[in-house]
A and B are shown apart, each in its own frame.
Chain A
Amino acid sequence: MDSSNDEALDIIITNVVATFRVRCHLNLRTIALEGNNVIYKPEVGKVLMKLRKPKITASIWSSGKIICTGATSEDDAKLGARRLARVLQKMGFRVRFSAFKVVNVLAVCSMPFAIHLIDFTKNNRPIASYEPELHPAATYRIKHIKATIQVFSTGSITLTGPNVQNVATAVEQVYPLLFECRKPLRK
């Protein structure tokens, strides 16, 4: 049985977070003064630099570790990271691009039906949790692929996972469970 419907569900990736290292000590003040789109936070000890082309924001620490957020795909994240390293290279630091790793991927998906959250939580007792006082969505954590799914009653779900493949697997896994607790819509 094809778990994803006849009409394919659109999984839209909204955010990819990646980290990498440049293997050299960075002088944050130099970056702050020579860079074009930078925000320097001396209290925390990091510099935020925003790139336009793949639209990403990078947090740069003086140890040479950089976190890159805002990309819309894994490739984009990698490209942005390399661009960033190039900028730093031009500033005069001896950068070596290494240890690039995608850490978190956030995706949204919309089901064509509404979901009864209380039934959903009851059916999947320890894995799903729902606290209406705190958050309007039910949280479903899949441990072995390390993905978290937030299910809203309107049928839209947000997924977070360590990479895009996991996220796709998570959707496949959760779809039948959601289908059981669906609410047939009246038009």
Chain B
Amino acid sequence: MSSKVCKNCGSSDIDVDHARGDAVCMTCGSVLEDNIIVSEVEFVETGGGGSSAVGQFVSAEGGHVNPSFGDNNHYQSMGRESRAQTVQRARQSINTLGHQLQMNKHCLDTALNFYKMALNKHLTRGRKSGHVIAACLYLVCRTEGTPHMLLDLSDLLQVNVYILGRTFLALSRELCINAPAIDPCLYIPRFAQLLEFGEKNHDVSMTAMRLVQRMKRDWMHTGRRPSGLCGAALLVAARMHDFRRTIKEIVSVVKVCESTLRKRLIEFEDTPTSQLTIDEFMKTDLEQESDPPCFTEGLIKKKVKNLEIELRKKMDEVEDEIHGYQDEIDAELECVRPKLRGVYAAYAKEVVVNEDPVSSPKSDECEDPEEDDVLQAVAKHFGKDVEELTLEALLKLEQKKPGEEEENEQELEGDIPKRKAPSLASILGPMPTAATLGLPESISSYIKDGKENDGDGDSGELDLNGIDDTEIELYLLSDTEIKVKTALWMAENSDYLKEQKEKEAKIAKEKALGIYKERKPKGPKRKYPPIRASTADEAIGKMLEQKKISTKINYDVLKDLNIKPCPSPARVPLTPKKKPSATRLTGRNRNPAKAPLSLSTPLSSLGKRLQPFISGQPNKKMALEQISNSNPLPVPVGNPAGGGGGGGAVLVESGPVVYDDAAAAAAAAEEEEEDEEEACVSAFDLLGKYEYGSDGDYDD
């Protein structure tokens, strides 16, 4: 810009003349600057005596120079670049959201820059625009250090905070923006304001900040939401300054759960700082730091576990002792009646040997009451046994007086202790075996499993090494089970099966009718109302309004598609539709000019896009191009210079276009589509030879 020192002689005496646009050194006379750019507004006198400012309006967002002479509404709908439109939309969303969060303009601008960066890196694809905007805003919040939480944004958008967080993390990673970590101290003033402490706001905030810093040193803040810490700190600070703030109020402001607050308070209570008085706390700062609370909890859990294990060991020892005592008692008992055993051993062999039957009833008597309980218990078990007869006999005998019949008693006695010997076997009998449990009989199969063969690879053969077939069999149901399960499953899922059947029936029907199409989710088709106009010009005009003009078509080429003026009415309906078919090639949507177009409107007002359509005389350059290329055009080149009026009509029609009713229009629409395809084919060939894009040179 303005250099204060001359380059040649070094003097600082420079004369800047804005009128001439020069900067001249007064000492040596060298011209330092020429054609200085000035930022002054100049006025020019318009016809009629008024004065208007010189220059063109260039908007900040788009940056296109749109010639809008007189009618400034045009540029909005003129069909700008898609990228510009996206950015424009993003700007509006950012501004809306930003104002709701009371963010200043600088932040909003930064957010827009982030958005543009993301757009360039194609990060907006596949993500909802709302999410991306919110993530950009939050990125700004973090880099600027404003006290906005992700929760606020999710509140505004009614979106899950984790989804927003994921988008935010992805964006920050891709854009390599390292947001500094959140400091809970940032949130304190914001929450304090909401809690309305009045004049003492500052004091309470300060105290709360000290508390938070203390919590940080005590490792309470790693891995926790900063808002929870702030809530706890504010609660304590409020109480310290004699404000009665309930937990519910704090919860509504800070947006954490009540139990979280309580937990934080308890953790703080565990730290040594909590033992200080208020004054001490404000003055001193303890040196020692405590462990993070979750770590301490982990340690406690470990200790508890160890304790349990020890206790269990002791339990086992105690149980072992008890068992030992039991065994001793049993042994003693057995020692008391050794003879019985002898008798019953003989009895067990089914040899009735009456050895000392006298002695048996004596000992039996004293044991009867003991064995009554055992009898009862074993009786049930024995109900299933083969020795039922003896059991019943025993039971009958139980009721009778003991000693009534020696034989019976003998049997009784014989059976009672005899029951002991076979009872174990019979008791063990109905116990579940490995087979019924479904476990393989031998452990050897498990031992085998360690060795495996990696020779399967891609050969496809299943290596059965280490797979026990019997075990595999257990994974399959038997036939009866299959039947039952089938019945159950059918009953359960009858609705779903019905739906599937209906679907299949429908598809089969359509196939039969021959109109079955592969269902592709298509967007809604744009339906254009049929154009009704009295002259070709009006028709063109209306069509241009409806359809969108693209920037990527070389219209000069398309002009050559025009058909000769045809008198037959059959061809007539085709001609106006040839135009729309040609324009619809690229499928890009543009807003056509809103003002009613007629041949009298000056070309320049229509903008550069429409000029090739309407220009009466093609540029010489274009003519040369056309001549040089041999176009296999099925349609003869229309006379572009024909017709009257400024900007002669490209089409010349002999008569008014005849419009039939809707049926014809529908038929015409179908024709149109077919035409489109044909036109597509030929135009594609054409366009392949020319470069894309419209010609830039127009004579103004």
A interface with B by C-beta (< 8 Å): 23, 32-37, 40, 42-43, 49, 51, 53, 75, 78-79, 82-83, 85-87, 89-91, 95-100, 114, 116-118, 121-122, 125-126, 129-134, 136-137, 152-155, 183, 185-186
Contact B472 A86 (CB under 8 A): yes
Known: A82-B467, A118-B181. A87 touches B476 (CB 8 A): yes
- Complex interface: stretch among B216-224, B278-286, B543-551, B679-687: B216-224
Q: Which residues of B contact A79 (CB under 8 A)?
A: 449, 452, 466
> Known contacts A35-B475, A87-B475; can you find 9 more A-B pairs with CB under 8 A?
A33-B486, A79-B449, A86-B469, A98-B459, A125-B178, A129-B172, A132-B225, A153-B294, A186-B288
In the complex, whether B485 has a CB less than 8 A from a CB of chain A is yes
**Restricting to B148-198, which residues have a CB under 8 Å from any CB of A?**
149-151, 161-162, 165, 168-169, 172-173, 176, 178, 181-182
Q: What is the bound-complex CA distance between A37 and B6, given in angstroms?
A: 92
Known: A97-B460, A99-B458, A154-B295. A134 touches B165 (CB 8 A): yes
Do A114 and B295 have beta carbons less than 8 Å apart? yes
B298 part of interface (Cβ distance < 8 Å): yes
A-B pairs, top 6 by smallest CB distance, nearest first, are A96-B460, A136-B223, A153-B222, A134-B165, A154-B295, A97-B462
Tell whether B33 is near chain A: CB-to-CB under 8 Å: no
> Chain A contacts of B151 at CB under 8 A?
133
B173 close to A116 (CB less than 8 A) = no
Instruction: Please name all residues of chain B whose beta carbon is closer than 8 Å to the beta carbon of A83 when the two chains form the complex.
Output: 467, 472
Residues of B within 8 A of A130 (CB): 181
| Contact status of A42 and B493, CB under 8 A, knowing A35-B475, A86-B467, A96-B460 | yes
Q: B150 touching A133 by the CB < 8 A rule?
A: yes
Given contacts A83-B467, A114-B295, A186-B289, contact A51 B223 (CB under 8 A): no
* Closest Cβ–Cβ distance, residue A164 to chain B (whole Å): 15
Q: How far is the CA of A116 from the CA of B151 in the complex (A)?
A: 25
Decide if B673 is an interface residue (CB 8 Å cutoff). Answer: no
In the assembled complex, which residues on chain A have CB atoms less than 8 Å from the CB atom of B176?
Answer: 126
Are B178 and A37 in contact (CB-based, < 8 A)?
A: no
Residue from B452, B462, B466 in contact with A85 in the complex, judged by beta carbons closer than 8 Å: B462
Q: How large is the interface on B (under 10, 10 to 19, 20 to 34, 35 or more residues)?
A: 35 or more
CB–CB B292/A153 < 8 A: yes
CA distance A79 to B454 in the complex (A): 10
- Kindly report which residue of chain B lies nearest to residue A183, judged by CB atoms: B219
Contact indicator B467/A35 (Cβ below 8 Å) = no
CB contacts (< 8 Å) of A99 on chain B: these are 458
Contact residues, B46-100 vs A (CB, 8 A): none
Chain B residues lying within 8 Å of A53, measured Cβ to Cβ, are 471
**Given the complex of chains A and B, what is the CA–CA distance between A122 and B180 in angstroms?**
8
| Cα separation A139 to B482 with both chains bound (whole Å) | 48
> In the complex the two chains form, is A95's CB within 8 Å of B474's CB?
no
17 contacts between A and B (CB under 8 A): A33-B482, A34-B477, A42-B496, A79-B452, A82-B466, A97-B456, A98-B457, A98-B459, A98-B460, A114-B219, A114-B291, A129-B172, A136-B223, A152-B223, A154-B298, A183-B292, A185-B295
* Chain B residues numbered 471-525 whose CB sits less than 8 Å from any CB in chain A: 471-477, 482, 485-486, 489, 493, 496
